[in-house]
Structure 1
Amino acid sequence: MKITGYRTLTAQQHWRRSIGDVNGHITEAVTEVPIVILETDAGIEGVGLGSHADLARLFSAIDGEDPRGAAALFDRMLAQVFKSGHAGATYGGVATLDSAIWDIKAKAAGEPLWRLLGGRDRFVPGYASGLDIALDDDELASFYAEYAERGFVAGKLKGGLDLDTDLRRLAILSDALSRNSSRPGLMLDANESWQVKQAVRYVGALEEKVDLLWVEEPLRRWDAVGHARLSTAIRAAVATGENLTGVEQFRPLFEAGAPDVVQAGAVWGVSHLHRLALAAAARDLPISPVGYNANPAVAHVMTAVPNHLTTEVQSIDFAHGVLVDHEFIDGGIVLSDEPGAGIRIEEAVIEGARNGDGWADPAGPHMRPTRAGLRVVLDGVER
């Protein structure tokens, strides 16, 4: 079997709510979902979600290759961009092709991807994440109540600007999720908006009232020393890593003892997640994928590693034309039992369903505010 070509599509996820974080939000949010369909001479096609970055240059590394050599093809793509480097957007292209290759490999073997990777159980524990900075209190309660009905016992709040607001909203999460536990897991995601001492003071004040499971991305993603200092100053775990592109980028954090929970963005693909999970396991650290909805294939990896903690679930729906054979029950994800990653694409539906500008909105959460980390007073007011 040989890889012969690929085609691309862009679906749209209609969130039916506002989404965002401390850096900004999109009202009535629509986001784009890049898709790659990898073709073979055996007629088996693989689906990868995540990015269209640098595909033409990367494809030359796998063109004509046998997709069953998935791990080696991942390294061939990294070698293909050796001079310019694979960090940043290019890593998204590598990962999307990688996910499609693994989908083909599992389909060719006639096995679900979780089984091919060595998983025993197709259940993946998860937590609810509303991307909820712009939701009012009633919307917030409604969102987490829906997940509580599905058995979820943990949720993550977007915050970091105003202590009183975060305390009120964390109480709403706790109330909603208390349906299934008297001590639900509560996380706060600050999306790199603090400096070290801001984080120590803010989280310390929160912890006078709330038992936090973790604080996520409190500092800039590369600040290994700062994360380590913070971890020793608060009770909550420090979770970070979702925006690091390549296992090697975690080395300074590991050496500094920075992360208590190792995170990886779902758009970085199957091979990345698997290798990072094992690197974390060697240091007795748990791993937690972020943004499962952007690439559901990565949940399969979590069945086959010894240190999976929980996976972020942001929606029980997917983009128009993206059919994912997964269920959300008992506080997690039940993966497909069909060969491959359980993702099917309806190309005609995708082409006919485009509506909205997606991430083109300049006020969206991908834009870091000028004064992030430099605010004198953290009271929710931008001065």
Structure 2
Amino acid sequence: MKITGYRTIHTHRDWGRPVGDVNGFIASGITDVAIVILETDAGVEGIGMGSDHAVELLFPALEGRDPRAVTSLYDAMLSHAFKAGHGGTTFGGIAILDAALWDLKAKLAGEPLWRLLGADDRFVPGYASGLDIALTDDELVSFYTTMAERGYTAGKLKGGRDVNADLRRLLLIADTLSVNTDRPALMLDANESWNLKQGVRYVSEIEEHLDLTWIEEPLRRWDASGHHRLSQQVRAGVATGENLTGLELYRPLFDHGSVDIVQTGAVWGVTNFLRLAVAAHSRDLPISPVGLTSNPAVAHAAAAVPNHLTAEVQDLHAPFAVTIDQTYSDGGIVLGDTPGGGITVDEDLIALTSAQGDWRQSAGPHVRPKRAGLSMTPAGGPGDELQGITYTAVDE
């Protein structure tokens, strides 16, 4: 069996709400979704979702090869990008092809990917995450009410600009999720918007009022020393790593004892998740994938590793014209029995729509604002490009 070609498809996700973080948000709630389909001479195809950046440059590493040799092909793609480097968005191209390869391998075995990878349980524990920086308090409560109805007991708030607003909104999340537990787990995601002392002051003030399970991406992703010092000064766990790519970028965090919850962006793929899980497990650290809406195959990998803690669940729906064999209940993800990663795509239906969106628009969260991390006050000041997000409180 040989890999003979591929095709790339772009559909969209309608979140039904503005989505973003402290760096910006997508007001329309419409974002692009890339899909790559690997073709073989046996007629079996593998489907991957994520980022299709540099796929055309990476495909020669796969062409004519047996798709069942997934881990060897993953390393071949890393080698193929040797001089240019496999970091950044190129890593997304490697990951989407990797996801398609794993889908192919599981289909050929006639098994769902979670079973092929060695899991004995199809359930993946998760937490609710609204990407909710632009939601009013009423909208925030509505989102977490929906998630509470699916059994979720943990929620993550996008914040880091206004400690009073974040406290109020974290308590709203706690109150909403309390229908399932008297001690909801609460997380705050600052998306790299602080320096060290800002982070210490901010988290310490929140911890005077509530128990914070973790603080996510408080500092720049590479600041191993700063994350270590912050972890020593607050009770909350420090969670970071979603924007790191290859394993080599995690070494400083591990060496400095800088991370309490090891995160990886699901968009970086199945093989990367499996290898990072082993690296974290060797240090007795839990792992938590971020953004499973971007690459649902990683949920299958999460089911198969011994140190998976919880997975970020941002949306209960699939992208347009995409069906994913999984359901959301009991506070997690229940994976299905469809062979492969459980993804099917209606290419004809996608061809009929013109809807599209872009995560990288200047107002969105993927573009770091000019004055990020340089405000004297949490809410910013004149000329601060992070200004403009307001909240409407409930019951006030």
Deviation at 1:357, TM superposition (A): 3.5
How many residue pairs get aligned? The number is 383
Retained in 1: the 8 A contact 2:194–2:218? yes
Kindly indicate whether residue 31 of structure 2 is the aligned counterpart of residue 31 of structure 1. Answer: yes
SS in 1 for 2:273: helix
**1:289 matched to which residue of 2?**
289
Deviation at 1:230, TM superposition (A): 0.4
Retained in 1: the 8 A contact 2:375–2:381? no
SS in 2 for 1:306: coil
Task: Name the CA distance, whole Å, in 1 between partners of 2:70 and 2:357.
Answer: 35
Gap regions ≥5 residues in structure 2: 385-396
TM-score by length of 1: 0.98
**1:5 matched to which residue of 2?**
5
Post-superposition Cα deviations, 1:320-361, rounded to whole Å, max 9, x if no partner, equal: 011101000000000011110001111112222232443353
1:58-69 to structure 2, matched below 5 A, reads 58-69=58-69
**1:82 matched to which residue of 2?**
82
Task: Name the CA distance, whole Å, in 2 between partners of 1:360 and 1:131.
Answer: 15
Deviation at 1:210, TM superposition (A): 1.2
Retained in 1: the 8 A contact 2:47–2:343? yes
Task: Name the CA distance, whole Å, in 1 between partners of 2:367 and 2:99.
Answer: 27
Task: Name the CA distance, whole Å, in 2 between partners of 1:348 and 1:261.
Answer: 42
**2:239 matched to which residue of 1?**
239
Kindly indicate whether residue 224 of structure 2 is the aligned counterpart of residue 224 of structure 1. Answer: yes
Kindly indicate whether residue 182 of structure 2 is the aligned counterpart of residue 182 of structure 1. Answer: yes
Task: Name the CA distance, whole Å, in 2 between partners of 1:70 and 1:159.
Answer: 39
TM-score by length of 2: 0.95
1:144-223 to structure 2, matched below 5 A, reads 144-223=144-223
Task: Name the CA distance, whole Å, in 1 between partners of 2:307 and 2:235.
Answer: 21
Q: Amino acid of the residue matched to residue 281 of structure 1?
A: H
Task: Name the CA distance, whole Å, in 1 between partners of 2:381 and 2:17.
Answer: 23
Q: Amino acid of the residue matched to residue 58 of structure 1?
A: L
Regions of 4+ moved over 6 Å: none
Task: Name the CA distance, whole Å, in 2 between partners of 1:240 and 1:226.
Answer: 12
SS in 2 for 1:175: helix
**2:392 matched to which residue of 1?**
none
Post-superposition Cα deviations, 1:50-83, rounded to whole Å, max 9, x if no partner, equal: 1111112211111011111101100000011111
Task: Name the CA distance, whole Å, in 2 between partners of 1:282 and 1:179.
Answer: 36
Retained in 2: the 8 A contact 1:110–1:340? yes
Task: Name the CA distance, whole Å, in 2 between partners of 1:136 and 1:356.
Answer: 25
Retained in 2: the 8 A contact 1:22–1:193? yes
Q: Amino acid of the residue matched to residue 191 of structure 1?
A: N
Deviation at 1:34, TM superposition (A): 0.7
Kindly indicate whether residue 314 of structure 2 is the aligned counterpart of residue 298 of structure 1. Answer: no
SS in 1 for 2:10: strand
Retained in 2: the 8 A contact 1:74–1:271? yes
Retained in 1: the 8 A contact 2:68–2:101? yes
**1:44 matched to which residue of 2?**
44
Task: Name the CA distance, whole Å, in 2 between partners of 1:111 and 1:48.
Answer: 17
**1:130 matched to which residue of 2?**
130
Kindly indicate whether residue 111 of structure 2 is the aligned counterpart of residue 111 of structure 1. Answer: yes
Task: Name the CA distance, whole Å, in 1 between partners of 2:380 and 2:316.
Answer: 30
Retained in 1: the 8 A contact 2:322–2:345? yes
Retained in 1: the 8 A contact 2:360–2:366? no
Task: Name the CA distance, whole Å, in 1 between partners of 2:356 and 2:243.
Answer: 26
Retained in 2: the 8 A contact 1:67–1:104? yes
Task: Name the CA distance, whole Å, in 1 between partners of 2:58 and 2:67.
Answer: 14
Q: Amino acid of the residue matched to residue 227 of structure 2?
A: H
Retained in 2: the 8 A contact 1:110–1:339? yes
Deviation at 1:380, TM superposition (A): 5.5
**2:328 matched to which residue of 1?**
328
**1:314 matched to which residue of 2?**
314
1:267-286 to structure 2, matched below 5 A, reads 267-286=267-286
**1:372 matched to which residue of 2?**
372
Task: Name the CA distance, whole Å, in 1 between partners of 2:146 and 2:198.
Answer: 33
Deviation at 1:372, TM superposition (A): 1.0
SS in 2 for 1:358: coil
**1:255 matched to which residue of 2?**
255
**2:139 matched to which residue of 1?**
139
Query: Percent of pairs identical after alignment?
Result: 61
Task: Name the CA distance, whole Å, in 1 between partners of 2:266 and 2:108.
Answer: 23
Retained in 2: the 8 A contact 1:231–1:238? yes
Retained in 2: the 8 A contact 1:162–1:380? no
Task: Name the CA distance, whole Å, in 1 between partners of 2:195 and 2:350.
Answer: 42
Task: Name the CA distance, whole Å, in 1 between partners of 2:312 and 2:297.
Answer: 13
Change over 3 Å in CA distance of 1:379–1:360 after alignment to 2: closer
Deviation at 1:316, TM superposition (A): 0.3
Deviation at 1:369, TM superposition (A): 1.4
SS in 1 for 2:363: coil
Post-superposition Cα deviations, 1:89-136, rounded to whole Å, max 9, x if no partner, equal: 110000000000000000000011001001010000000000000000
Gap regions ≥5 residues in structure 1: none
Q: Answer with 345-354 or 262-271: which moved more.
A: 345-354
